[in-house]
Amino acid sequence: MKQFLIILMSIMTIHAIAQEKGQMHYLYSADEIPGSTKKQAELEEKDKPKLFVYTDVDKAAKDIVFLVIPGGGYSRVAINHEGHDVAKRFESLGYAAYVLDYRLPKKETMIDKRFGPLQDAQQAMLLIRKQFPKKRLAVIGFSAGGHLAATLSNFAKRFTIKGAKASDLQPDISVLCYPVISMEDGITHQGSKQNLIGPQATSIDTDLFSMEKQVSKKTPPTFLMSAKDDKTVPIENTYRYKASLDKFKIPNELLTYELGGHGFGLKNKTSDVDWFAAMIKWLDTQK
């Protein structure tokens, strides 16, 4: 009952500020954050999870709503070029969008830091689905945010929210941009791995959070984008996830750049190919 009231209050807050485009509200309106070692009032501002709203709930024209998850290696949140800028582009095309400023995994503030970011992503998904029950929900994540988006896409049955249904927590579509996928040494982003499941990650943790090993027939259709010269998060991460999608016959599309490196957001300056436009075009084939 207490968890339900927290969700209800959060929904009311979203609706109240929906006309204020780009405005922030706290993801959890009540003082208590499930799974936190501290009450929200006791947390530093940077540790309070937030949603930024880029939509008019009553006038959202398109049939897809986006949850945008920026990257940052699970050590920071690249909220501007992988968050606000992306949401603004969606908004300009008539899509509703929300940017998630999720909590970074910290043992000091979380009962289980491995699942803290996922809890925030699931909470955001639940709130958005309550607002738009008849629309498809898509998650788009960048780098470590891509890992979180992939986790959200595959861990719907690993509830972090009491009383929720798997169908409420899982996106209908995923978009993963130069994503961290695997936790296996040699191809993972070590910073992301250490921050999320380190410093003493077990083989069980490594397998559990290697998203290429968690794909199933329930994984949503996925658009992937990465650059072949990415030295930060090797493109092998993307290739492995695509191979798993293909194994389960999950519809997917992969756009690769020869150059571009990592973390370029909306615009790869080495190419005239607009991955965002290609992604929107692919979405039209998934109706």
Q: Choose between 79 and 162: higher pLDDT.
A: 79
Length of the chain: 287
Distance of CA 109 to the CA centre of its chain: 21
Between CA 175 and CA 283 the distance in angstroms is 10
Say if CB 209 and CB 117 are below 8 A apart.
no
Residues 88-102 pLDDT 10s = 999 999 999 999 999
- The pLDDT, as a whole number, for residue 176 is 98
- The pLDDT, as a whole number, for residue 158 is 81
% of residues, the chain, pLDDT over 90: 82
Residues 23-70 pLDDT 10s = 898 999 888 898 999 999 999 999 999 999 998 656 677 999 999 999
Q: Choose between 274 and 162: higher pLDDT.
A: 274
Question: Phi/psi of residue 256, each to 5°?
Answer: -115, 150
Question: Phi/psi of residue 224, each to 5°?
Answer: -120, 145
- The strand pairing partners of 65, in sequence order, are 96, 137
Residues 249-270 pLDDT 10s = 999 999 999 999 999 999 999 9
Token code pair at residue 133: 């029950």
- The strand pairing partners of 66, in sequence order, are 97, 138
Residues 135-156 pLDDT 10s = 999 999 999 999 999 999 999 8
Q: Is the pLDDT of residue 4 over 50?
A: no
- The pLDDT, as a whole number, for residue 210 is 98
Q: In the predicted model, what is the mean pLDDT of residues 117-132?
A: 95
Residues 183-237 pLDDT 10s = 999 999 999 999 999 998 999 999 999 999 999 999 999 999 999 999 999 999 9
pTM of the model: 0.92
Q: Is the pLDDT of residue 1 over 90?
A: no
Identify which of 198, 8, 199, 195 has the alpha carbon closest to the alpha carbon of residue 103: 195
- The pLDDT, as a whole number, for residue 55 is 82
Residue 80, classed as helix, strand or coil, is helix
Q: Is the pLDDT of residue 19 over 60?
A: no
Q: In the predicted model, what is the mean pLDDT of residues 61-85?
A: 96
Q: What is the mean pLDDT of the chain?
A: 91
Q: Is the pLDDT of residue 2 over 60?
A: no
Between CA 54 and CA 44 the distance in angstroms is 25
Residue 24, classed as helix, strand or coil, is strand
Q: Is the pLDDT of residue 20 over 70?
A: no
